[in-house]
């Protein structure tokens, strides 16, 4: 595989000088000639003279366009195009550089995923125009893909606290629980509620209530491990999924959160010192596997008891006491 240095001759017409083009041709002389022309237009170029080199170069990342010969020994351009398309979810334009002029060959190329054709010998003007057009499409596609990722991210994040939302909890809890059941590991579920939160909103206003919720979001991010998953469940309720955590370990985590909130909330918001009630259910507390709804319901039942018995405390699920969860 050959990397052609970035050489600009005359005035570069490239709107994105960092664009990277992969040239694939089993004839090294032909490949290098085309690569030098492309480099002179201001692009970065990598040359591959076999399909194995082409795959390595493509998977190395940051390839913005592929320019390949259609006729090559072993794996030709048609088969290689299918391989490249099958191994990436992102759109990368593919231009065939070929001496094949018949319509059937062109139709076959389009069918396997090629975007356009250039005929040999290369016309520099035509090459420049096609590259600019294909790279513009590549850039626009990347912008759309990035926007899609941002929207997907926003759809799963609570806008106020910055942690995952109820929708994400509904998706992740069954997945995390299934993994715990399959691997024989414990999973603890914590349901957290701000004590007397309605009173904060009623007396100090919703803006202050929002301060409290944002503080909880930050606190949960600080006090949980990278493997723990905090969520805003709704209103003033939060949920933490703690994989590989048994009931004892989960209770230690819950107490750490409760104490830290009581200690630090006084200086964190205009609401002053506040407290939390927390309910906990762990998979090792049950003689049989529970589904996602049962796990969450059990933790919520323990929370209900924590609120009913004085608040500002952690309660572990107890089948005899938490009939509400059943």
Return the SS3 of 248. helix
Q: How many angstroms separate the CA atoms of 54 and 36, rounded?
A: 18
DSSP state string for 202-226 = HHH-HHHHHHHHHHHHHHHHHHS-T
Give the integer Cα–Cα distance in Å for 101 and 119: 8
Phi, psi for 142 (deg, rounded to 5)? -60, -40
- Cα–Cα distances (Å) from 18 to 6, 63, 93, 283, in that order, read 9, 10, 16, 52
* Rounded Cα distance, 126 and 97, in Å: 12
CB 64 within 8 A of CB 141: no
Could you list the active site residues? 236
């Amino acid at each position: 595989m050959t990397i052609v240095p970035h050489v600009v001759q005359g005035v570069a017409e490239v709107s994105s000088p960092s664009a990277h083009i992969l040239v694939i041709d089993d004839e090294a002389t032909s490949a290098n000639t085309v690569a030098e022309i492309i480099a002179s237009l201001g692009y970065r170029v990598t040359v591959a003279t076999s399909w194995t080199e082409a795959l390595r170069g493509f998977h190395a990342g940051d390839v913005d366009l592929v320019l390949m010969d259609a006729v090559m020994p072993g794996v030709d351009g048609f088969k290689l195009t299918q391989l490249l398309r099958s191994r990436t979810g992102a759109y990368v334009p593919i231009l065939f550089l070929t001496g094949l002029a018949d319509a059937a060959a062109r139709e076959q190329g389009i069918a396997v995923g090629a975007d356009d054709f250039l005929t040999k010998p290369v016309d520099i003007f035509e090459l420049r125009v096609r590259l600019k057009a294909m790279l513009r499409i590549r850039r626009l596609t990347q912008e759309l893909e990035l926007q899609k990722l941002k929207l997907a991210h926003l759809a799963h994040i609570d806008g106020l606290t910055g942690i995952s939302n109820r929708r994400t909890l509904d998706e992740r809890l069954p997945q995390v629980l299934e993994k715990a059941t399959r691997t024989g590991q414990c999973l603890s579920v914590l349901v957290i509620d701000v004590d007397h939160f309605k009173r904060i909103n009623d007396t100090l206003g919703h803006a202050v209530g929002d301060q409290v919720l944002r503080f909880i979001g930050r606190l949960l991010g600080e006090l949980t491990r990278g493997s723990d998953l905090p969520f805003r469940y709704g209103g003033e309720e939060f949920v933490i999924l703690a994989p590989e955590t048994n009931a004892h370990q989960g209770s230690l985590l819950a107490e750490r959160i409760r104490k830290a909130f009581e200690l630090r909330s006084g200086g964190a918001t205009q609401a002053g010192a506040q407290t939390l009630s927390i309910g906990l259910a762990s998979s090792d507390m049950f003689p049989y596997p529970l589904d996602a709804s049962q796990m969450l319901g059990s933790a919520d039942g323990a929370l209900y008891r924590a609120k009913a018995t004085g608040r500002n405390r952690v309660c572990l699920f107890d089948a005899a006491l938490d009939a509400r969860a059943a």
